[in-house]
């Protein structure tokens, strides 16, 4: 969601802009999960830390496909 709402996203997807009536319709048509957002990610990281894990958000390299649309979570238990 954060990516879809960003200015970069609009530049990145100008060709698709004609096909997408609105972000809300795009999300509905593509069955995007509205529950996976920054708040959910923060909660997940906090929960993992309370359970004894180290937790991190990892950025994607710019040359990865869809690198601007995702981040990975790393959990470590020692």
Q: Is residue 41 located within the same domain as residue 73?
A: yes
Q: Is residue 42 located within the same domain as residue 27?
A: no
Q: Which residues share a beta bridge with 56?
A: 74
Q: What is the CA radius of gyration of the chain?
A: 15
Q: What is the pLDDT of residues 6-39, one digit of tens each?
A: 777 777 666 565 555 566 666 666 666 667 778 8
pLDDT exceeds cutoff 90 at 54: yes
- Predicted local confidence at residue 41, as pLDDT: 85
Q: Is residue 29 located within the same domain as residue 42?
A: no
Q: Is residue 19 located within the same domain as residue 50?
A: no
How far apart are alpha carbons 56 and 39 in whole angstroms?
15
Residue 31 region by backbone torsions, left for phi larger than 0, else alpha for psi between -120 and 50, else beta: left
Q: Is residue 30 located within the same domain as residue 40?
A: no
């Amino acid at each position: 969601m954060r990516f879809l709402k960003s200015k970069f996203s609009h530049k990145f997807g100008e060709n698709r802009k004609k096909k997408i009536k609105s972000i809300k319709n795009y999300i509905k048509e593509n069955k995007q999960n509205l529950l996976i957002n920054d708040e959910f990610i923060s909660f997940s990281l906090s929960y993992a830390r309370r359970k004894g894990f180290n937790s991190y958000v990892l950025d994607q390299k710019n040359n990865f496909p869809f690198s601007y649309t995702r981040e990975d979570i790393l959990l470590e238990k020692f």
